[in-house]
Amino acid sequence: MNLGFILLILLYYLQRPMGPIEVSQEWKRIIKGGMIAAAIFWILANSGLPIISQIAILLNIGLGALIVYLTIRNPELQHRKGMVYAWLPIMAIFSIESLAEMISESFLESLDGYIGSAKFFAVIWAIVMWINNTKQRKALEKEKQKALEKEKEYKITEALKTQLEKQVAERTTELTKQKNELVKALDELKAAQEQLIHSEKMASLGELTAGIAHEIQNPLNFVNNFSDVSTELIEEAKEELASGNQEEAVEILSDLKTNLEKIMLHGKRADSIVKGMLLHSRSSTGQKEPTDINELADEYLRLSYHGLRAKDKSFNADFKIETDDNLEKISVVPGDVGRVLLNLINNGFYAADEKKRELNQKGVNDFLPSVIVKTHATNSGVKITVRDNGKGIPTSIQNKIFQPFFTTKPTGKGTGLGLSMSYDIITKGHNGRLEVKSKPGEFTEFEIFIPKNES
């Protein structure tokens, strides 16, 4: 074995992959060219021709030096430095041995002991470095395996990410579609609710109109009667003046003035009833104004009763109002508060009348439906209560009666919006409270509280 053979082995291992690291195709071609050159130099060195052998030996030494230089200096071959370092002592010893042999056989024999020892240590060095390189190769293989696993995980993650992005996009599209459908449904629901509220207002307007027709008839009758009497008084005054009886004429004129005052009083009464009807029938503007709650409650109590009487001639009930004379005017929307009172009073009459009908079926005929409206001034506002002696409200549903569309009346008797609309008018429109107290079978009492200085 000489230097050429060692170079062949070294070059062979240089072009092989080391763990996950491989040399480029260009360097593989260069290394294969070096292997061919080393093989040729090895053959020539062993040809037995003195000059050619010596030249081949020198070329092998130069080739070995070139391999060491390129491996150490070239960044692409940095991972092969360990292998070169392992073979470098053996290459150096064989180079020295070849040069000594070229000088003289005696000189080679004088170095034979040293060269033998050096070869031994060079082999030990090569084995140690080989083991170390093997460990490095295994470590590199582990790193490559980790890198492959990370790459695999990355690909899986990317695939999952892409899948999730697709699912998110599909879900977003679906949610957007559902949102649009819900918005459309909400708009339709709002339109339907507004229509139902309008229907509720029109239904209460019908009941109110019947009461107004009865209420307005009284002042109109007074106006007509006093007008007829006043006409007769004028004729009498003319006759007395014609007779020269001025004292009688003055007395008649005094009576005429009293009649005209009464005509004006009942005319204003009819005018206030008409205005109340207009306030109730038109959509509320939300404009608040100082209002006498006592007069408002009294007016709507009587309008409710007469309205129900106009619809059902058999309906009969007792009603009264207990007002607080110390109650000052308070700023409210009269039409809206009137709607609330009308709705609560109508409900009270309805509940009491239903109780009467049930008792009549059981043979009890002495029950009289009753609705009582009370007003009371407080330090912070006004309290209005509407109490009936009807069937009452079951405890289980008392917390539901202000919900939209909830009703205890039979189908066709109510929309379920009256109490809900009343609750919104008092709580949202006037920052007040609307509460209910009831004992099933005995009574129901609604309490309205409206604070002062609401604008």
Average pLDDT over residues 299-306: 88
Establish if 65 belongs to a structural domain: yes
- In this predicted structure, what is the pLDDT of residue 121? 80
* CB distance 353 to 317 below 8 Å: yes
Q: Which residue has the tokens 């207002």?
A: 201
Domain region containing 81: 3-156
Whether pLDDT at 200 is above 70: no
Banded model confidence at residue 72, pLDDT cuts 50, 70, 90: confident
Banded model confidence at residue 332, pLDDT cuts 50, 70, 90: very high
- The structure tokens listed for 27 are 């360097």
- In this predicted structure, what is the pLDDT of residue 412? 47
Strands 381-388 and 443-451: antiparallel
Establish if 66 belongs to a structural domain: yes
By CB atoms closer than 10 A (0-12, 13-18, 19+), residue 124 is exposed
Establish if 167 belongs to a structural domain: no
Whether pLDDT at 316 is above 80: yes
Percent of the chain with pLDDT over 70: 80
Q: Which residue has the tokens 């391999």?
A: 67
Question: What is the chain's percent helix, strand, coil content, to nearest 5?
Answer: 70, 10, 20
Nearest to 42 by CA among 92, 5, 87, 12: 5
- The structure tokens listed for 386 are 């509407």
DSSP-based three-state secondary structure for 388: strand
Higher pLDDT, 210 or 196: 196
Average pLDDT over residues 142-160: 86
| Interacting residues of 39 by C-beta distance below 8 A, sequence separation 6+ | 4, 8
Do 301 and 447 have their domain in common? Answer: yes
Q: What is the C-alpha to C-alpha distance for residues 305 and 301, in angstroms, rounded to an integer?
A: 6
Banded model confidence at residue 308, pLDDT cuts 50, 70, 90: confident
Higher pLDDT, 214 or 16: 16
| Domains in the chain, number | 2
* CB distance 402 to 423 below 8 Å: yes
* Domain end marker among 93, 121, 156: 156
* Domain end marker among 106, 123, 156: 156
Whether pLDDT at 210 is above 60: no
Banded model confidence at residue 455, pLDDT cuts 50, 70, 90: very low
Higher pLDDT, 218 or 451: 451
Establish if 241 belongs to a structural domain: no
Establish if 173 belongs to a structural domain: no
What is the per-residue pLDDT across 97-128, written as a single tens digit (0 to 9) for each? 777 777 777 776 777 777 778 777 877 887 78
Write the CATH number for 390.
Answer: 3.30.565.10
* Domain end marker among 156, 190, 207: 156
Establish if 375 belongs to a structural domain: yes
The model carries a pTM of 0.46
Phi and psi angles of residue 47, each rounded to the nearest 5 degrees, phi first? -75, -20
Establish if 234 belongs to a structural domain: no
Establish if 28 belongs to a structural domain: yes
- In this predicted structure, what is the pLDDT of residue 192? 78
By CB atoms closer than 10 A (0-12, 13-18, 19+), residue 432 is buried
What is the per-residue pLDDT across 354-402, written as a single tens digit (0 to 9) for each? 999 999 998 888 899 999 999 999 989 999 999 999 999 888 888 888 8
